[in-house]
């Protein structure tokens, strides 16, 4: 049975520290660049690199594609979930009751002005389908924690409300095996950098 591999790489640490960032486009910190370099030291046989257009993903992804001599492209559909009024805020800056509602029910509670979970889920699912339809045997997606959580949860057939149970630390690498139908996708690995 013919199969493909889909690798996922979360961006590294971002300037300004841990904050809710969907649309907010902050660059990687120096440490973030180093995390990404370490995570890709043992470069695989990636056939291409596809990145979120957010600079915390795209700047490194573009550089990596150039160094490896593989095609590079941007995919807006693999950007992070948009957090509306929470954009750029640290967790302690959000009213405790609102933040608790989000952690308790990330599917049903949308941050004020943010992207509803169902819209985010559908966008990521469609992006995965479109990317696999048009790419080579082993693409690398450089993306965000929420996108990685969504793809892992979908692969493992987890319920939507369990998505926050999947941790995706900075510079985390994930590999999914995508067989041709009727085969089912599987998680090969999901690990933080060492």
Per-residue confidence band for 3, with pLDDT thresholds at 50, 70 and 90: confident
Residue 132's domain is classified under what CATH number? 3.40.50.1240
At 37-71, the pLDDT tens digits run: 999 988 779 999 999 999 999 999 999 999 999 99
Domain hosting 31: range is 3-191
Residues 6 or more apart whose Cβ sits within 8 Å of residue 89: 19, 20
Number of domains in the chain: 1
Please classify residue 63 by burial: count the beta carbons closer than 10 Å to its beta carbon, then call 0-12 exposed, 13-18 middle and 19+ buried.
middle
Q: Which pLDDT value is given to residue 170?
A: 96
Q: What is the pLDDT of residue 66?
A: 97
The 3-state DSSP class for residue 182 equals coil
């Amino acid at each position: 049975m013919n199969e493909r591999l889909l690798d996922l790489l979360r961006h590294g640490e971002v300037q300004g520290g841990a904050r809710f960032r969907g649309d907010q486009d902050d660059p990687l910190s120096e440490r973030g660049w180093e995390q990404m370099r370490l995570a890709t030291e043992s470069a695989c046989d990636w056939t291409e690199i596809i990145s979120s257009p957010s600079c915390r993903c795209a700047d490194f992804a573009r550089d990596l594609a150039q160094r490896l001599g593989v095609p590079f492209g941007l995919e807006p559909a693999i950007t992070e979930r948009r957090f509306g009024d929470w954009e750029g805020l640290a967790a302690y800056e959000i009213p405790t009751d609102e933040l608790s509602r989000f952690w308790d029910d990330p599917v049903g509670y949308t941050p004020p002005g943010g992207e509803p979970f169902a819209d985010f889920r559908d966008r990521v699912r469609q992006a995965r389908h479109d990317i696999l339809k048009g790419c080579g045997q082993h693409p690398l997606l450089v993306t965000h924690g929420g996108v990685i959580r969504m793809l892992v949860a979908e692969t493992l057939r987890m319920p939507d409300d369990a998505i926050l149970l999947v941790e995706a630390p900075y510079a985390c690498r994930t590999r999914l095996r995508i067989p041709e139908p009727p085969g089912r996708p599987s998680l090969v690995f999901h690990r933080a950098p060492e």
